[in-house]
Structure 1
Amino acid sequence: MTLQTNAYQTLIQQVSKTWLSGQAQALQAVNYQLIETYWHIGRHLVEFEQKGKPRAEYGQSLLKQLAQDLTLRHGKGFSRSNLIRMRQFYLAYPISAKPSHQLSWSHYVELLKLDDPQERSFYQQQAIAEKWSVPELKRQKNAQLFLRLAASKDKAGLLALAQQGQALNQPSDLLREPYIFEFLKIPEAHQISETQLETALCNHLQPFLLELGKGFTFVGRQYCITLNNSHYKVDLVFYHRILRCFVLIDLKLGEVQHQDIGQMNMYLGYFANEENVEGDNPPIGIILSRQKDELMVEYATYAMDSQLFVQKYQLYLPDRDSLQRELERAIEEVEVNQERKQEHGQ
């Protein structure tokens, strides 16, 4: 008698599905309890320190002694560094702002390394929304994603970014400046061709999609377009499942020229009329280049109704101080403009 029947195969699938679901729920429950436990331990430490000057005078020796005594009683898990993190955990997430249980303790260890509460809040929200692993969270922190996005926001937008993460409501919300391709490990002085860059990005598709952001699905490379027996190829084509549109990307090693913008606009027209199906929104075009002449781009895209953007990329991690200065300058410009509007209104 054979058990290789449809009913038996269905039984295997049911048992497997139940087992995997139970495993996931068990891990989620363990993580929930672990986060709660570490938060309460941090609260005990802070409350002990705050109950009077004599206790506060223990200073550095308190956690060292506590680590030794708790390790003797419970074994691993109570090193001085762990206790410091638990204390920081409670201070960063007091009762009025308890942490989300959708992230692991390892996620929070990375988040606690950030001193700026707004920046920490952003990465927390993005890690939850995009389901970042810990290595992905580390990568986005190192690539200064918050500062790159924040520099293009006004003060209200910056606050919303910190509290809610990056919203994807319109095509411009996809953009980052600059895009960072440090994962390719190409030295800045190394000379490569556009084809080699395209190949390298496709060979590192997972980190490339992480850099592009949430919602991108890879469609293809060197996507062929034929018009009147002339053949054209779009470097990279994606579909964005949230904005429900195609996203076309062309790569340029040097400075973008006006004819590059005209060509991308032609690609957008083709996709809008030939590739879109019912329910699709107009396509988005992004030209990525090492250099960008802002004035030329402004004039070359004048009166264009299409969603066409020219953005810079670089092959190395950005300098945090430079991005911080850029953000501060952007906020200062917003404040100056607001003051001018108020004076003009008066």
Structure 2
Amino acid sequence: MAEKSIKQFDEKNDEQVYVSVRETLESARGKVERVVNSAMVEAYWEIGRQIVGATGERAEYGKHLVRYLAERLTAEYGKGFDYTNLTNMRKFYQAFPILDTVCQELSWSHYRRLMRIPNQEQREFYMNAAAEEHWTVRQLDHQIATFYRERLLSSQGEKRELIRSEIQRSEPVTAADDFIKDPYVLDFLDLGGRTDFDEHQLEQALMTRLQEFMLELGRGFAFVGRQYRLDGEQASYYVDLIFYNIKLKCYVLIELKTRPLNAKDVGQMDFYVRLFNEKYAGPDDNPTIGLILCSSSDRTVAKYSALADGKGLFASSYVTCLPTEEELTDALEPTRRAIAEARAEREEK
């Protein structure tokens, strides 16, 4: 009789209860891990502070003290406090001397990578970006290796100079300038250095590695669709990729070009953005952004087309291999040169 009554229980409800209990446990485990991580990061900072405070400028004594502490602490607490790790704790304090500026969301592994950045401003930029975007250590390392900050600031600087000098407009730089980069590094596509792919193949490669592409795009992106159809009165048009940026509260249309940028590309994107704003964007959405990703940009097109209007149209180049520092410097040079020329023209006036 008891066996029969057990079979009458709702198995679907059993599963729902299990899922709910499991979610509770996972949430609690995550909270514990975050608390433990935060406590350990703070403890490592404090250990570094005490070592620096005790040694001051006495380098030789500092080495002696770290060796002494490593021997005793390793015997009591394990290899997590060996000479190398204690040295890293000292460097951690020296790199981030104010505890309140340390992001508790990041792990010790994040900080070991950040400490290798010699410039304080760069360290703080990547620390804040990693915390805000929830980058893994591997993602943080990739963004540093691909000069994420430099590419972002280069695009922002170019836009500001164009607005102030060439366009003679009073509009501020749009929020989109906070995530537009030039160039975009698509080394995750594993194209093996190929340059003979067409736009369809590039689009398919990006879809296959969508997560990595969204990381490269930047903050707050959600995928909407590919070959997204826009219906006009007599014809339909297809946008390569559409995303929604949650932070900017707007749609982002992306067109892929495996050749250099031309004026026709800008006109096409301008048309798509206008049509999308009119027929597809919601009343609460901010104006749509259009981004053309091309094999190389053209300064003339950028200066004498709708790209120069500061109205949400952008064009950036892309590379499919991880560039060296010298190669990226060369890629950023046209932008820097344009900024210098714009400043010179403004000063002459």
TM-score by length of 2: 0.82
Aligned residue for 2:277?
272
CA distance in 2, matches of 1:98, 1:225: 47
Aligned residue for 2:165?
none
Q: CA deviation digits over 1:235-290, x for unaligned, max 9?
A: 11111112121111111111122222111111112101111122012211111111
- What is the Cα-based RMSD across aligned positions, in Å? 3.3
Q: Please, which of 90, 114, 118 is the counterpart of residue 115 of structure 1?
A: 118
**In the alignment, is residue 233 of structure 1 matched against residue 238 of structure 2?**
yes
| Paired amino acid for 1:57 | E
Aligned residue for 1:21?
27
Deviates more, 1:145-154 or 1:284-293: 145-154
Q: CA deviation digits over 1:8-59, x for unaligned, max 9?
A: 6665455334322221221111112111221122122212212x75xx4345
Contact preservation (8 Å) 2:155, 2:177: no
Give secondary structure in 1 for the equivalent of 2:304: helix
Q: How many residues matched? A: 328
**In the alignment, is residue 203 of structure 1 matched against residue 208 of structure 2?**
yes
**In the alignment, is residue 84 of structure 1 matched against residue 83 of structure 2?**
no
CA distance in 1, matches of 2:126, 2:278: 38
Contact preservation (8 Å) 1:235, 1:250: yes
Contact preservation (8 Å) 2:182, 2:316: yes
Aligned residue for 1:311?
316
Q: Please, which of 28, 40, 45 is the counterpart of residue 39 of structure 1?
A: 45
Question: Structure 2: 5+ residue runs without aligned partners?
Answer: 161-172
Q: CA deviation digits over 1:126-152, x for unaligned, max 9?
A: 011111111111111111101112234
**In the alignment, is residue 242 of structure 1 matched against residue 220 of structure 2?**
no
Contact preservation (8 Å) 2:183, 2:318: yes
Aligned residue for 1:191?
196
TM-score by length of 1: 0.83
Aligned residue for 1:164?
none
| Paired amino acid for 1:124 | M
Aligned residue for 2:184?
179
Contact preservation (8 Å) 1:265, 1:306: no
Write out aligned runs for 1:1-346 (5 A).
1=5, 2-4=8-10, 11-12=17-18, 14-50=20-56, 53=58, 56-58=59-61, 60=63, 62-95=65-98, 97-153=100-156, 170-301=175-306, 306-321=311-326, 323=328, 330=336, 337=343
Give the 3 Å change call, closer, same or farther, for CA 303–330 of structure 1 in structure 2: closer
Question: Structure 1: 5+ residue runs without aligned partners?
Answer: 158-167
Give the 3 Å change call, closer, same or farther, for CA 115–331 of structure 1 in structure 2: farther
